[in-house]
Structure 1
Amino acid sequence: MAEKVAIVGCGLVGRGWAVAFARGGWDVAMWDPVEGAAEKSLELARTIADDLHQAGLLQGQQPAEVLARIRTAPDLATALDGAAWMQESAPEKLDVKQELWRELDRLAPATAVLGSSTSALVPSSFTEGLPGKERCLVSHPLNPPHLIPCVELVPAPWTSPETMRRAVEVMAAIGQKPVVMGREIDGFVVNRLQGALMEEGFRLVADGFAGPEDVDAAVKHGLALRWSFMGPFETIDLNAPGGIADYIARFQHMYREMHVDQQRRVDWEAPEVLQKVLADRRARLPLDKLAERSRWRDRRLMALLRQKQASSQEIGD
């Protein structure tokens, strides 16, 4: 018998999680407090499943097989009934999450793991004081979770080792790639890395060293090619004849000197900065084309996933 997951919050992230779990063989119950939101997400999941099938990313299944595992629930208690995992994707508002998580802990089976998709709140901020706080964690995906497999598993100080072990097991079983954190910190891993890159990008634009499109080009045609199959530590390990220690000996001084300049923060909303970025982006992509370009992004991600899967089989990870 398939295990059940309750998807609480059915926006972009929630519906992506629903497809990811259903593709992994789980029964999915979707619930959202906004009337009609779960039903709308279920309809959109059909499009997602069709796109994944055309891209060869449904693990050999037909869309109907995957979609048959997803249903909507009339209330929160029904969604949680019998669930082995709960994935919450509610708005990033602390008071909303605190109130919701009191209900989640009260209604979910005692054996269920409770995960949050939050990208901005550490788990201790909304699980402290809950009777079942040891089974709670952040399980933060990148958007969209059905296409980007990385998921950050972040414990609160009281999250049990068994909960973390189970979280790794569940995420790996449905095809996600867990990043396991030892303890919580604002931004987790991904947003802290992304934030460092964005801070430098805004500095380069604000000071006139490069335009937004040039910064994007440096990443997508340069850094991202390597980063799509290996991380920064492996990158520098392979970029010097003697490995990572050799790289540090050769280049640490360069990064140390750059770091001094990188301590100065540029205000992203300063008119002279924001207008540069907005003018560049809107010239290249009008606002009314954002949804179309997002669909393009998803198709490119699907193509990249296919290529990565094929390369792993042919060359190895």
Structure 2
Amino acid sequence: MKTAIIGSGFIGRAWAISFARAGHAVHLWDRDSEAGRRACGYIAGVLFDLQHNDLLNGQTPDIVLGRIAVADNLEDAVAEADHVQENTPEVLDTKIEIFKRLDAVVAPSAVVASSTSALLPSAFTESLKHRARCLVVHPINPPYLVPAAEVVPAPWTSAETVERTRAFLVSAGHAPLVMKRELDGFIMNRMQGALLEEAFRLVAEGYASVEDVDTGIREGLALRWSFMGPFETIDLNAPGGVRDYAERYQKIYERIFAQVQHRVDWAGAVMDRVEAERRARLPADALQDRQVWRDRRLMALAAHKKKAAEEFEE
């Protein structure tokens, strides 16, 4: 299967790894003629780390990298592509422009997906002739380590397009979240946003430090959340399951809810505190090294989850 990656920044090059690892031919195109080649250099380094953690499905880095090619122009990139993944900046006018170009040159049978995390698909596909094959496929970065990906249809996206996209993602090792209709923030950013809103409130109002909040997630909730979601968590946290949990604990959350009906400005005074505490723990010039550390920890976690899934027959 041929795939096309439009835009080869952080997200585009990560999708390229994911698709190529799954056995698909990948053609990269970027407005910056050198960006695709830089992406290939980055990808080569990542592939060796993935092999070290047995995350290349038994393949060598050279085999996976050999499936990735850089296209000189948009038309060559999408020629005969079955799936096109767009990764341009989160600017509505940019999305409208690139989707108009794609609509004119991509085969009508191909799926055209956007990686946008903030724009609804209806906002940039409404006027397209082939709009029924357009939708959002939004990953958590990097998608070659985090399987979840949101499939978000516009009101006019066909059911066939949604199903083809879901099946393609599953075949590439992803765990698609198929939304029934579009909504600001989709699923993952709405869930993450709820947690971040409370994190900022706790710090701004003097209840906890930044590190206390991070510790609570890192050493507490995230340990369960790394292999189960919130509904399964509460289903297993009461003797009679999810209904029993709600009957026992809903009043607690009802009381809390009344206390969180306000927000603090993330860019306001609280940011000085958050940034100061984070920079005390991690200087700005160490951010890039820490990102590499994060990805390697994710690789180790992905390898562990793969082994555990086999051992416990999930």
TM-score band by shorter chain is: over 0.9
Letter in structure 2 aligned against 1:290: L
Letter in structure 2 aligned against 1:209: Y
In the aligned structure 2, how far is the partner of 1:255 from the partner of 1:316?
34
Whether 1:78 and 2:76 are equivalent positions in the alignment is yes
Deviations 1:92-122 (Å, cap 9, x if unpaired)? Answer: 0000110110001110011100010000001
Indicate the SS of the match to 2:33: coil
Letter in structure 2 aligned against 1:264: H
1:289 to partner: Cα distance = 0.4
- How many residues align? The count is 314
In the aligned structure 2, how far is the partner of 1:235 from the partner of 1:294?
29
Aligned to 1:224: 222
Match of 2:170 among 152, 166, 172: 172
Aligned to 2:23: 25
Aligned to 2:208: 210
Letter in structure 2 aligned against 1:301: L
Aligned to 1:313: 310
In the aligned structure 2, how far is the partner of 1:145 from the partner of 1:121?
19
Percent of pairs with identical residues: 51
In the aligned structure 1, how far is the partner of 2:53 from the partner of 2:254?
44
8 Å CA contact 2:110–2:133 kept in 1: the answer is yes
In the aligned structure 1, how far is the partner of 2:306 from the partner of 2:313?
9
Letter in structure 2 aligned against 1:46: A
1:242 to partner: Cα distance = 0.7
1:264 to partner: Cα distance = 1.1
1:269 to partner: Cα distance = 1.2
Indicate the SS of the match to 1:276: helix
Aligned to 1:285: 282
In the aligned structure 1, how far is the partner of 2:10 from the partner of 2:50?
16
1:145 to partner: Cα distance = 1.0
After TM superposition, the score normalised by the length of structure 2 is 0.99
In the aligned structure 2, how far is the partner of 1:268 from the partner of 1:291?
23
Letter in structure 2 aligned against 1:33: R
Aligned to 1:132: 130
Indicate the SS of the match to 2:264: coil
**How do 1:47-126 residues align onto structure 2 when only pairs under 5 Å count?**
47-126=45-124
In the aligned structure 1, how far is the partner of 2:2 from the partner of 2:279?
43
1:35 to partner: Cα distance = 2.4
Whether 1:299 and 2:307 are equivalent positions in the alignment is no
Coordinate RMSD, CA, aligned: 0.6
Indicate the SS of the match to 1:57: coil
Letter in structure 2 aligned against 1:287: A
Indicate the SS of the match to 1:44: helix
Aligned to 2:159: 161
Indicate the SS of the match to 1:56: coil
In the aligned structure 1, how far is the partner of 2:64 from the partner of 2:267?
43
In the aligned structure 2, how far is the partner of 1:308 from the partner of 1:134?
36
Residue segments in structure 2 that go unaligned for 5+ positions in a row: none
